[in-house]
Amino acid sequence: GSSGVRLCRTAEELAKHAAYLLGGTRITQSTPKILIEEFAQGRYYNVDTMGHQVVGVGTAEFDCPPHFVFREVTFPAPLGKDEHERIVDLSLSCLQALGLGWGPANIELRWTKRGPVVIEVNPRLGAGPQLVNLAYGIDLVTEHIKLATGGKCALLKKRSHTAAWRYLIPDLDGTLDWIDGGTQAAAVPGIAEVKLYAQPKMPIIRKGDYQDLIGHVIAASPSRDQTATLLQQAVDLVNWTITPFKD
């Protein structure tokens, strides 16, 4: 969920964030450690696989840097044939290199000037099985259960839609006065789900990770443009106010 993850552009920023992490606010292990990685600049993609097969490739946008909080996820990603093939080949190579040939996996990468660069490989379902189901009619959870109980999974696409997931992210800290519009948003045709996590009078303290999110809206339709329009229409119906904390 990007907890403790931050983009550091200078040695000073790195030193400050390392001191914050090692100060005990984020790391509780007996031997504290931090991980420093090169920042891969480029479009983000995530790949869902089952066994040795790539089910599909999604894409996502993040909220404001220096944090990595997801703002919107779209499945499938708009990719050309060559780009898709390179991502599929790289993903299957990751599975082979790590000995992951059974069950679900999720691979995150960015398309940089050097081409696709792997960020992480997770031997589990990703965060978006619901989008895969809405777009392709493939229920990855059910197919995983089939495998776990000795059966065979079926990964044939039943349709070819576009599904998108927009997170609701507050833009300041304070007390949530009210949040409303979820019922109206859910009534928009093509909206698959609306969930509001936050309750009135809750304190909003942004930490730059998944805990900042106060809700989400999911839309699906036969076309990418239509899905984007429906999603924005529903999101615009959800409103809230936050009273900043007093100094």
Assigned token pair, 37: 């990685």
Report yes or no: 43 and 184 within 8 Å, Cβ to Cβ. no
3-state secondary structure the chain: CCCCCCCCCCHHHHHHHHHHHHHHHCCCCCCCCCCCCCCCCCEEEEEEEECCEEEEEEEEEECCCCCCCEEEEEECCCCCHHHHHHHHHHHHHHHHHHCCCCCEEEEEEEEECCEEEEEEEECCCCCCHHHHHHHHCCCHHHHHHHHHCCCCCCCCCCCCCEEEEEEECCCCCEEEEEEECHHHHHCCCCEEEEEECCCCCCEECCCCCHHHCCEEEEEEECCHHHHHHHHHHHHCCCEEEEECCCC
pLDDT, tens digit, for every residue of 122-175?
Answer: 999 988 899 999 999 999 999 999 999 999 999 999 999 999 999 999 999 999
pLDDT at 25 over 80: no
Tell me if 193 sits within 8 A of 219, measured CB to CB: no
Task: Identify the active-site residue in 9, 26, 86, 124.
Answer: 124
The reply to whether 40-159 and 161-247 are identical in fold is yes
Q: Percentage of the chain surpassing pLDDT 90?
A: 89
Specify whether 114 is catalytic.
no
Q: Which CATH architecture has domain 40-159?
A: 2-Layer Sandwich (3.30)
pLDDT at 2: 87
pLDDT of residue 28: 54
Which sequence spans correspond to the domains of the chain? 1-36, 40-159, 161-247
CATH for 161-247, options being 3.40.640.10, 3.40.190.10, 3.30.470.20, 3.50.50.60 = 3.30.470.20
The whole-model pTM stands at 0.91
In this prediction, residue 24 has a pLDDT band, given cuts at 50, 70 and 90, of low
Amino acid at 87: I
The 10s digit of each residue's pLDDT in 174-220 is 999 999 999 999 999 999 999 999 999 999 999 999 999 999 999 99
What integer pLDDT is reported at residue 40 of this predicted model? 95
**Average pLDDT of the residues in 20-29:** 68
